[in-house]
Amino acid sequence: MFDSFKIKRLVSQILSSPGQDTSPYVRSLRAYGEEGLNALVDTYVARKITDADFERNFSAFYDRDQMELFIGLLGHPKELVRSLARGILEKKALSAAVPRLVERLKEKNAMLRRGIADLLKKIGSPAALDKLISYLQEDDKELKGIVIGLIADLGGSQAAGYLMPLMSSPDWWLRKKAVDAICRIKDSASIGPLVDLLKAERDPKIKVTIIQTLGQIGNTNAARAILSSIADNDLVVRQMVVEALENIADESLVPEIINSMRDADVNVRRAGVEILSKMKTVDSAETLIRCVQDPDWWVREIAIDALALVNKPDVGARVRELFTNSDENVRRAAVEYFNRLPDPSTFDALAELLNDPDWWVREKAVSALGKLKDERAIDLVMALRNDYDVRWVVPQALGDIGGARAVEYLCDFMDDPERNVRMETLKSLQKINDKNTLSVIKATVKDSDADIRDLALQIIKDMTGHAVKANQIIAEQTREKWSGGSTIFTSPFLDSARVKVEAILVLDLANSTDIGAKYGDDFALRLTNRLVEETKPISTKHRARFTKSTGDGYLMAFNEISHAVNFAMDILDTLKKSNATHPPQERIDVRIAINVGETRIDDKGDRLGTAVNMTFRVEGVKPKDLIPDVGGMKPEEMPLLNRILVTEPVKQDLEKNGLVKTRFIGFFELKGIPGRHRIYQVTAD
């Protein structure tokens, strides 16, 4: 009790001397060992002392006799206490503390173990290695996990050898720890054992780690082992195969990659094409041309990307042969190649494709002819001015061709009733940069579309260097009517993105994950292929301008809301009839959502933007997300399958045109889309 009184008195003297030299009190307090140290630490825990004063007194307390106490503080709940104890031991104890640190790793305090491990890594003493290796025989799994990491950090060139036996451990957690550590070491001596483990390993997370490491330190033999995982069921494993082989695969592996691409699984073919694409191997060109004819859109897309990088004349000639392929998807892909690599020798062949029965082929052919910048194409593309499906791209092609005749036709397009045609025309006039188009550009400040008006004003600002308002331009036009002449001149206006107002439709195969889990991936693939067969002719019938597979469904874009709704109702009716002819387990159920808004179209034709994101959110709404409202549904009334859900702008358009009936469901909060949104169900003709 008398000692306790003295300790309290010394602590009180320390606390009453902030910022001053308190070393005499600290030395006296040190004489009481653990009790004195704990009393000092308690002042900090109780916030009776500042961080700076505590740090100074805490450091002064240490001497060699107190080392054990400071090791114990590596597991203290307070971060500053742990940090200061770690720093003092690192600075003052050095190798003297290593044996005790290693010994105390066996204590069950998890925080203390982590603190000791961190300190041992900083000290970096190999002297601890023998003892640490012996701990690998202990039954304590958590201890083994810590030791594995320490051996990797302290073991030098021998570390991988110590840890390799653990790679065959039946315990997944220890096996993963050992593999992670060996892969972190990146010792070339571990390539062989890692290759052997990859062949036997079944856990995808461990396989990903092994493949990633072999991709960094491996050789041709490692590349072959990695390629064997190209057909793995796990998507992440397959993607890591692609990334790893990009680094270490060479020409010798091309035949094996090509052989893998004969697999019936589309995911394997996709991965093979990606590997060849990233290798940029000229010898793979013939294989890539075959991939352009693959039934999967993604395989075709990657193949075109890769062939565009090859950029050899003989490749272009082989791709041009695909213009006559019976599959419109192949023809589309082939024409897209020449959109990326314009080739004057394709002029006549592209001209013939302007009569192709597939609208998308015609659209791509118009675009490719424009990129040739050959004035002979002007009359050819203008012949499609009244082709409803492709007319919007005609002004774009004229803008690429340029010249006086192109300008003349473009000026006529500015009165077109279709908004996207006028928008593309305005961009093309700016691209051509002909001062004679000034009056046409100025006239668009009176356009009914706000975006076109804004774009025109921005172009005028870029031309003149002055910001102007629409009423100023209109007044100027009035003056020019009497005086002639113009005070505004042209300069380039660059805007690579195409913006369109479209009806966006998302169709999703319901419960596809559960179907795959219950009946297998092959069964789910058959259902998906059946959905493709049912969807394709109906999308053509209802003039879908854009169709992209989402894996278990589609993203589509239509010029008119009515086309999107008619497609949705038609596909539901078709699936209903089709389901009646198949067993119950082969029934196809879908969910459909329709929205309308601006989409941004990238150079591959993909649709992007908030309106697209919102459509995906609407497709996935669930009863639990419903915020009921007057006149709406109860959660239990909400349809789950074979439903067509629409946003409020779509509902208003349908109501205005009297096309179909809708029923109000209620409000929903859509992730990433601010506010609450009214959602409706299309119910009948």
Question: Which residue, chain included where needed, has tokens 């070393």?
Answer: 23
Q: What is the pLDDT of residue 2?
A: 60
Ranked by mean pLDDT, which of 43-52, 264-273, 302-311, 461-470 comes out on top? 43-52
Per the document, the length of the chain is 685
Of residues 322 and 198, which shows the higher confidence score? 322
Average pLDDT over residues 24-29: 84
Of residues 224 and 495, which shows the higher confidence score? 224
Alpha-helical runs (H) found in 341-376:
347-353, 359-371
Q: How far apart are CA 528 and CA 508, in angstroms?
A: 10
110 pLDDT more than 90 = no
Ranked by mean pLDDT, which of 479-483, 533-537, 599-603 comes out on top? 533-537
499 pLDDT more than 50 = yes
Q: What is the pLDDT of residue 520?
A: 60
Q: How is residue 529 written in tokens?
A: 């292929």
**Residues 363 and 391: beta-carbon distance below 8 Å:** no
Q: What is the pLDDT of residue 221?
A: 79
Q: What is the pLDDT of residue 640?
A: 92
**Residues facing residue 607 across a β-bridge:** 601
Query: Residues with Cβ < 8 Å from 639, sequence gap 6 or more?
Result: 681
Q: Which of 161-175, 230-244, 649-663 has the lowest mean pLDDT?
A: 161-175
Using 50, 70 and 90 to split pLDDT, how confident is the model at 346?
A: very high
514 pLDDT more than 80 = no
In the chain, the percentage of residues whose pLDDT exceeds 90 is 22
493 pLDDT more than 60 = no
Burial label for 557, CB within 10 Å (0-12, 13-18, 19+), is buried
Using 50, 70 and 90 to split pLDDT, how confident is the model at 485?
A: very low
598 pLDDT more than 80 = yes
pLDDT tens string 416-442: 778 888 899 889 888 887 767 777 777
- For 547, phi then psi, to 5°, come to -135, 130
CATH T-level fold of 402-495: Leucine-rich Repeat Variant (1.25.10)
Question: Which residue, chain included where needed, has tokens 């190798």?
Answer: 95
In the chain, the percentage of residues whose pLDDT exceeds 70 is 89
Q: Which of 249-263, 294-308, 471-485 has the lowest mean pLDDT?
A: 471-485
Q: What is the pLDDT of residue 233?
A: 83
Q: How is residue 81 written in tokens?
A: 């206490």
Q: Which of 272-276, 436-440, 514-518 has the lowest mean pLDDT?
A: 514-518
pLDDT tens string 283-313: 567 777 887 888 888 778 877 877 776 666 7
Q: What is the pLDDT of residue 81?
A: 86
Q: What is the pLDDT of residue 488?
A: 30
**Residues facing residue 18 across a β-bridge:** none
The answer to whether the 2-180 and 402-495 domains have the same CATH topology is yes
Q: What is the pLDDT of residue 592?
A: 96
Average pLDDT over residues 259-264: 71
Q: What is the pLDDT of residue 481?
A: 42
Does this model's pTM top 0.85? My answer is: no
265 pLDDT more than 70 = yes
Ranked by mean pLDDT, which of 140-144, 188-192, 505-509 comes out on top? 505-509
Q: What is the pLDDT of residue 655?
A: 84
234 pLDDT more than 90 = no
Q: Which of 212-216, 372-376, 490-494 has the lowest mean pLDDT?
A: 490-494
CATH ID of 2-180, from 1.20.58, 1.25.10, 1.25.40, 1.10.1060 = 1.25.10
Q: How far apart are CA 475 and CA 458, in angstroms?
A: 18
Burial label for 372, CB within 10 Å (0-12, 13-18, 19+), is buried
pLDDT tens string 351-367: 999 999 999 999 999 99
Q: How far apart are CA 106 and CA 113, in angstroms?
A: 8
Using 50, 70 and 90 to split pLDDT, how confident is the model at 496?
A: very low
Domain boundaries, the chain: 2-180, 402-495, 504-684
Q: How far apart are CA 454 and CA 58, in angstroms?
A: 68
pLDDT tens string 306-343: 777 666 678 888 889 999 999 999 999 999 999 988 99
CATH T-level fold of 504-684: Alpha-Beta Plaits (3.30.70)
